[in-house]
Structure 1
């Protein structure tokens, strides 16, 4: 595997734009790229993950989206990571091979989660098989036990992972277990791996623990404020960083109370960016008009953050 710039900072977990008929809308990806870079200051993306409704898309749709992000992001984005996880090992391997062929900057894999009797050896064997199809690009494990129900600690997985998967470069850690995360940071004392945190409302806590950066849905529309948080933290101004975190937490606390998921994220992104993200794919239903009306006013408060 060729040496590559370390993945760090903010990574937007991208939304999959759809038409009102429920088809993927590739025509706005170029506009989406420019919006992330120019309006939010975010230059890394994580495509076809949870926010992107990856598990609800066909293999062909996932390939088309990956191709479009790589094509439109060339010379504009720093790194494009393609999530290639699936319940089916052959499908996941095929997606990994495709990501390598289109010259993505890395791949990520979620734990297959239908069969819950998964142990460490079985999971690592699955990940190894997928990663072997893309031997020239970095591989990241996508840890999200609240959705998968697979609760093998990342600290446990790190033991021997690099030896079994030479392209293993790090973890997207989407769990609130800061004990596990902290132990991962301690185990990674040489800094050979990238540890990216995936719970946006706890970003500052993860940075203090030693996170290299973050992957999340809110960086699509709160990227600028979150970048200011990163800057304040980097400058040693934890009081200012805390203020930015509290500002984003206030908004997220509000929307979570309204019922916040993929559909609502698409509605918020449409409001903020002006790019039509469309409805989610069934069985998810579109955000209600009431939700959109309530959120609109709150967004102005975050957008005009007094600490900027």
Structure 2
């Protein structure tokens, strides 16, 4: 697959039909018509993905965009069905890279059981898009209205904070590549679709037991916790020693001087769970391939104002409500 993207390759008069036709051909069977929606409320999520670098050790921006969009829908309580994709491509990007991206989108859509409804592409001058940016809109159906569908209204003192997967691998992988440290050879990004995991938890948990669910993403667990605290009005206390971080990820983050609680994470959610249902939820999470490392990391505590507190191994208590020290452009 030779050639490079040119400034006019998005026009229909380009031989081969332009970038849109190129992407549609490469996506193949991932493209399709919208499946029947059935009963329920429609849920839409529109997300922009900028990943530096967009092609990295164990993946690329294509599968990050598909899985990220699917996970946003699932966290909102919806069953993901389909998505559309738009690419902003730098002139000069090798067509083999664009083909790699399309192949990644195709495989990710199959893994997440969603259809790509439409695709578009535009070209910008070299240096204006970090090779490629992606914009997605995901479509899902919410069969039931539940407090777990992206709100924090049901949270109360004593509820437990649970993360579904190890933290920081995504940020450590990308930052290691940028700094040429070599850790990306052993640190995985762990970008996976979580719709089936969350569906099983919602089916198994008693009514009202799953208080809220938050994506742990580019801002790390700290960002998810801040959102939870502000929405609920409660205090959150997290134990640093309980945070699930793989050894190789911790080594990389230490060298990069990044706190795991602030490191970009993929394929992970933070769940707020009623204490009496904790064992049930943990059992369901750990029975799923993407929830084997689910861990209780903290508790909801009384507070006059929203607070997030990280209890360090030496007993110090660090406030996390203010976003301080997070490296720019983790994703």
For normalisation by structure 2, the TM-score amounts to: 0.25
Q: Of the two structures, which has the highest relative contact order with CA contacts closer than 8 Å and spacing of 6 or more?
A: 2
For normalisation by structure 1, the TM-score amounts to: 0.27
